[in-house]
Structure 1
Amino acid sequence: MSPEPVDVLSAADPVAAVLSAHAGRRPIAVRTSGTSARPRRVVRSTASWVDSFPAVSELTGIGPGSRVWLPGPLSASMNLFAAVHARFTGAEVGPTPDRATHACLTPTALAGALEDGVDLAGVHVVVAGDRLGRDRSGRAAAAGARTSHYYGAAELSFVAWGSDEDDLRPFPGVEVDIRDGVVWARSPYLALGYLEDGGPLRVAEDGFATVGDRGRLDDGVLTVLGRGTDAVLTGGVTVLVDDVEQALRRATGTEVVVVGLPHARFGQLVAAVLTDRTAVPAARAAAGELPPPQRPRRWFCLPRWPVTEAGKVDRAAVAELAAAGRLDPVPVVA
């Protein structure tokens, strides 16, 4: 009979709970971020994390004497992993950037730090939880920081690593395969499953697993296009928002969120939301190259992205603001 997983987030010190479970060879339960569905408790062996520590230490330089700025909640698996890795390797963790040699941030948190003038000179920033665009990594570099970016999931752990979303290559010890446009990974770092029924994790007979993210692999570089279930149904046509966002982000060098706006005749209209009004003309030009159903019919600006507890852009909140008419519309110029 398998030992009961330790629900580490219910402990007073979740980091200590993970390390104690590792010493006792007990599995642990962590949670998904819940950005596309309700959060689920993911069961994994502690070895599936600890065995990746040497590679993470080598890629980041985190070890004794390092100080990791970790402002996000431990309820997000990326933050809990970072805190466990830091304590395991003898690094210090702090909630502020003071004296930080390293940081673990979402792209949204990194953008906020840059906008707030946080001194990141000499800091190695590990960015995860969402896609890190080259424009944002470039801004961080201009501020004197170095960025590392990884793609993964609570169920898969690390899949690919690079400096930004355009430079993702399989993480050490991970095999990546694209099957029917979906990203599959095989590694020692996979989770065992869920405590509850359901969930996006699928495992094939050959050991490859997926959570349904779409992507492509070209010359060893992985491009992640996002979860295929994020879609807008407009006039009977299903538009995957990641296809539209990818094109608009490439053209503008800034984050774009595409949502469905309720419409009496078409069901939904494709709408694009940006935080930078000056980027809208470039986005509109790029949209003109898309197939007609994918072209945004409404454009909005939002001063700052709402974020989830895990620090990711809260797409549901953006969609609600758009539907409620609480976003600043950008009129079409003839």
Structure 2
Amino acid sequence: MTSPVDVLGAPDPVGAVLTAHTAGTPIAVRTSGTTSSPRLVVRSTASWVGSFPAVTALTGLDAGSRLWLPGPLHASMNLFAAVHARSVGAEVLDRPDGAGHAVLTPAALAGALADGTPLAGVHLVVAGDRLPRALADRAVAAGARTAHYYGAAELSFLAWGTAEDDLRAFPGVELALRDGVVWARSPYASTGYAAGQDGPLRTAPDGWATVGDRGTLTADGVLLVAGRGTDAVTTAGATVLVAEVEQALRRAGSGDVVVVGVPHPRLGQLVAAVGTDPVALAAARAGASELTAAQRPRLWLHLERWPLTSAGKVDRAAVAELATAGHLAHLPAAVA
């Protein structure tokens, strides 16, 4: 088997992907490292290029487009966007001025809105983490058009919509739930990890694969993603899955919430809910009745802006450190 090209080691990673495609050589790209250490994922270039027509149709990106792409190329979502843009002849910008398209993480979008970045007329593709409906609505109110997709470095595109609550299977992808875990059968999937590496990707003989994300699939085909099911808080002997609590709180509060464990001398850990919007966080607190006693957060904490990883995603480890160190404000008992 031909050794994959580590495209990020090339002076021009985008060109390296396109050269590998011409040569029929596999490539290696990195996972984001959001829930673990980054890994090298091996894939054929066709697994990316094959999705270009669908992405072009969904976004309208063409040779006359100007794409704002502020994120680093070591994040596979950004590398893909840059390769797609070059393949259709679009211009890639590192600043928003004059851009009609943009690819951002939800945290980067929240920062752009907070900074007053002009987004009127911009077609946003938001990925890398879940896009709350409230944040998508803020972008639309600023004049933007939003698209949102769910995927993984190992599996590429899985579902597409306008926010986290209307995701449907990406063209050419089949979705299924097995014991609450999202599985997919897709022509865009990778072949696995580089030699000597392991990760959450699991495959079945019938072509289905998963990275362990949990979720639900409604009768009319909407995929609601809870997140990686292995992140947990242990409190008073009970194991609480973070993804399940966050999903319930987002439904109740219409805003993004990160749940972490804060050490406690008697209980082991306390479940803490952290958010940047105090009103949404208060709504989540008021609507947390569907949670069990163990799942219900004991701490409700507020910060101004999310700490980010180098890939532009919420840095959960940093959030947990801030909460543990007592550097976050407690949500008042009553919030207007």
Q: TM-score, normalised by structure 1?
A: 0.97
Secondary structure in 1 matching 2:14: helix
**Amino acid across the alignment from 1:136:** L
Q: Deviations over 1:225-254 (max 9, x none)?
A: 100011101111111111111121222221
Which residue pairs with 2:204 in the alignment? 204
Q: Deviations over 1:118-156 (max 9, x none)?
A: 111111000000001111111111111000100000000
When residues 280 and 89 of structure 1 are mapped into structure 2, their CA distance, relative to the original with a 3 A threshold, is closer
Which residue pairs with 1:297 in the alignment? 298
Q: Does 1:130 align with 2:129?
A: yes
Q: CA RMSD of the aligned region, Å?
A: 1.0
CA distance in 2, matches of 1:280, 1:85: 37
Secondary structure in 2 matching 1:178: strand
Secondary structure in 1 matching 2:247: helix
**Amino acid across the alignment from 1:86:** A
Q: CA deviation at 1:191?
A: 0.3
When residues 316 and 295 of structure 1 are mapped into structure 2, their CA distance, relative to the original with a 3 A threshold, is same
Alignment of 1:151-230 (within 5 A): 151-195=150-194, 196-218=196-218, 219-230=220-231
Which residue pairs with 1:251 in the alignment? 252
Q: TM-score, normalised by structure 2?
A: 0.97
Which residue pairs with 1:90 in the alignment? 89
Aligned-pair identity in percent equals: 70
Q: Deviations over 1:278-313 (max 9, x none)?
A: 334322211233110011011111111001111110
**Amino acid across the alignment from 1:202:** R
CA distance in 2, matches of 1:168, 1:10: 34
Which residue pairs with 2:322 in the alignment? 321
Give the stretch that moved more between structures: 247-256 or 135-144: 247-256
Q: CA deviation at 1:274?
A: 1.4
CA distance in 2, matches of 1:325, 1:49: 44
CA distance in 2, matches of 1:295, 1:315: 19
Which residue pairs with 1:53 in the alignment? 52
Q: What residue ranges of structure 1 are gaps of 5+ in the alignment? A: none
**Amino acid across the alignment from 2:8:** L
Secondary structure in 2 matching 1:293: coil
Alignment of 1:115-126 (within 5 A): 115-126=114-125
Secondary structure in 1 matching 2:103: strand
CA distance in 1, matches of 2:251, 2:213: 19
CA distance in 2, matches of 1:134, 1:5: 39
